[in-house]
Structure 1
Amino acid sequence: MSMIRMRISGDHDKIDTLIHALRGIDGIEHVEDVDEESMDEMRDDSSSSELVDDSQGDVVRVEVNAPQKKVELVRNVALLATRELDIAVEFVDEF
Structure 2
Amino acid sequence: MKKSTFLATSFLLLSTNLFAQIGGIEDSVAEISDTIRNIFPIVLGIIFLVGFLFNIGHFFGENSDMKKGLTRVLIFVLISGTVVGIFSYLITIVV
TM, length-normalised to structure 1: 0.29
**Between Structure 1 and Structure 2, which shows a larger proportion of strand residues?**
1
- Asked which structure has the greater RCO (Cα within 8 Å, sep 6+), the reply is 1
TM, length-normalised to structure 2: 0.29
**Larger Rg belongs to:** 2
**Between Structure 1 and Structure 2, which shows a larger proportion of helix residues?**
2
